[in-house]
Structure 1
Amino acid sequence: MIAARQKARVATVQFEARTVASFADFAARVEYFTKLASEYEADFVVFPEFFTLALLSCQPPSLDVEVDIDRLTKLTPDLAALFRRLASDQNINIIAGTHISRDGNGIPRNICHIALRDGSLHIRQKVHATPNEAAFWGIEGGGSADAIETDCGAVGVLICYDSEFPELSRHLVDQGAKLLFVPFCTDSQPGYLRVRYCSQARAIENQCHVVLSGNCGNLQGVANMDLQYGVSAIFTPCDFPFPRDGIAGEATPNVEGMTIADLSLSDLDWAREKGSVRNLADRRPDLYASWR
């Protein structure tokens, strides 16, 4: 039997949205950060939502969003192969931001590739599409949300807006997730703060760690990626074993870089059993299960 992991080192990338010359150019940037995280012996590296939209910048300009979605969909196998190769080569688990791709029925989805260092590849769809995603891209929300077993235990993925729905994170934590990853893409400070404040609330109410990864800068020539505001961060519960403010790490606002932190998984167990507050143990589902 494999002993339970006591900690996990996470690296979250604040990725600058900028034009690329080719798929190889984009892949080189992803490989740079993945290799850097691996050199720091991170267990996970996290990239932002929509970071693959940079791949549209090296294609002829299009005024048709359907053409852009088709272009992105054609790149999906190449991206999956890239993430899978890097996870294996660099011995790291990759939460590969998100990518727009049509599903088997031709419906645009906002998907996250999760490439584990054991060679497996998982895909999770954004459950809650924002009004802008639905109106501009025609994206529809996914129909399931399951935790993923890794060598650091179960983890969950909440894509940006998903972090603003408490029931989704609780669903993942109930499946054993102690780490929740939030790739996000926000163009304004109010939008970012919604994701940040809700993610901090998710860490407290679920007594888990929550890791944010966002874009910065702007992406000229690619529709709907004109401006980015982001501060990637790593959140913990607020109790004695953790940082006083519940922040294990935080990037400089709107500057490309990587933030790394060691997160204790055993301290989460302590907090859930003996903490100052015990949110998971003190729930009253006998009351609010009937409030739906």
Structure 2
Amino acid sequence: MSNRPAGHVACSTVRPNRETDRRAPIRTFLRTADGIPVDSVYDPGPVVYEAPPQAPDASPSPSSSSSRDVVFVVAHGFTGDADRPHVRRVAGVLRGYGAVVTFSFRGHGRSGGRSTVGDKEVLDLAAAVEWARGFHHARVVTVGFSMGGSVVLRHAALRPGTVDAVVSVSAPARWYYRGTAPMRRLHWLVTRPEGRLVSRYGLRTRIHHRDWDPVPLSPVEAVPRLAPTPLLLVHGDRDGYFPLDHPRMLAEAAGDHGELWVEPGMGHAEHAADDALVARIGDWAVSAAG
């Protein structure tokens, strides 16, 4: 892995303009600061030429001017990618609240490189956020799930001021957690040669064989650095990967600038986040990023 500093991102040659916002989705490869091609998709939000009049006490509708200048950048979980049905479903719901950028982390889907399970993935998200900014949207909201949830926290902490709100769903608070059976299986996939083979051919996820060096900033260490950027933490009370002490640690670290939703009956990440929850996230983000 490159040790080049995470500075400017060399993006694709696709140059967004105001007219592209009104066309079909755009798909391209972005190039990260360390040279990894990242498969990325831009879905325009609802085109509104004139916002309908509303009562003074009415909440903004998803198609009103309050959401037209918002772009959501969705960071999927481990073994996901931009084409997975659950990622497309989440993007479809959020598209009612603004434009949406989805992408595949390194080592996932059609992107290049190998997964570092949350470390160098910050560079992938940085490339996607910079691309999203180029579509003339005034506000950028990152929405991450599981591994992606940890990445959006670290990205906002390491690059203050680059996003306007952060939503982290089903994220861990600390590294190397092995307290549940699913996490023990994940560690086998990541740390064992035979596990990485299973991941490559069975899960379409290519994992780097090197250990972290240095160990990246943990999510719970990153959260205090987000202020004053609005932060929403979402976690299910039936999450089989990370029990409730993880979101509670994150919420405590966030203090007054963070909000925690503990969702009754919800499991883990994108698969467990139903359309109603994603819509509530969209509502929160449009309001918080204003």
TM-score, reference length from structure 2: 0.35
More strand by share: 1
TM-score, reference length from structure 1: 0.35
